[in-house]
Amino acid sequence: MKVVVTDAVFDPYAEVQKYQAGLKSGQSGGVVSFVGTMRDFNDGHEVSTMWLDHYPGMTEKHIEQVCEEALERWDIIDVLVVHRVGEIKPDEAIVLVATWSAHRAEAFDSCRFVINYLKKRAPFWKRESTSKGQRWVEHNTEDAAADIPD
């Protein structure tokens, strides 16, 4: 398992390839990945930049907890999460979640679980810059599967 929170622009596809190269050969039947990118619009407004804030240390701990939960709930081999913070521009990757498993169902289900947790409960605070100024955005995923006991 690997969790990275970074203010640097990253290439999600290179991250998956690099991480997969370190996994034991022959164990994985597939990898499912989700890459979230920044849109230039939200709720009917044009968005020029987004700022993601977090608490260093606490944020990584929460993401590691959800990755551990995914490893316990599904028959998966590994989980990779890379999440941006700081200033993000349209088309830049915000988040990468990748899960490896011998079977596709577990890889899909666990990847969905992790990304829904990140959207709903992870300790990130999002501020958008629009033509009308800046505004804070609330979490936006309604998925009971993303609920993890504290």
| Residue 124 maps to a domain | yes
Report the distance separating Cα 47 and Cα 142, nearest Å: 23
pLDDT of residue 138: 80
| Residue 149 maps to a domain | no
Report the distance separating Cα 77 and Cα 1, nearest Å: 9
Report the distance separating Cα 12 and Cα 14, nearest Å: 5
Assess contact for 137 and 127: CB atoms under 8 A.
Answer: yes
- How many structural domains compose the chain? 1
| Residue 98 maps to a domain | yes
Which of 37, 39, 53, 120 is closest to 85 using CA atoms? 53
CATH number of the domain that residue 79 is part of:
3.90.1170.40
| Residue 150 maps to a domain | no
| Residue 12 maps to a domain | yes
| Residue 90 maps to a domain | yes
Report phi then psi at 24, rounded to 5. -65, 130
pLDDT of residue 146: 52
pLDDT of residue 131: 84
| Paired tokens of 54 | 């977090």
Domain of 47, in residue numbers: 2-20+31-135
**Which H helix or E strand runs over 52?**
strand 45-54
| Residue 122 maps to a domain | yes
Which of 115, 116, 60, 110 is closest to 85 using CA atoms? 60
Report the distance separating Cα 122 and Cα 125, nearest Å: 9
* pLDDT beneath 50: ranges in the chain: 141-143, 149-150
- In 3-state terms the chain splits into helix, strand, coil percentages (rounded to 5) of 30, 40, 30
pLDDT of residue 43: 87
pLDDT tens digits, one per residue of 98-132 = 999 999 999 999 999 999 999 999 999 999 998 88
pLDDT of residue 139: 62
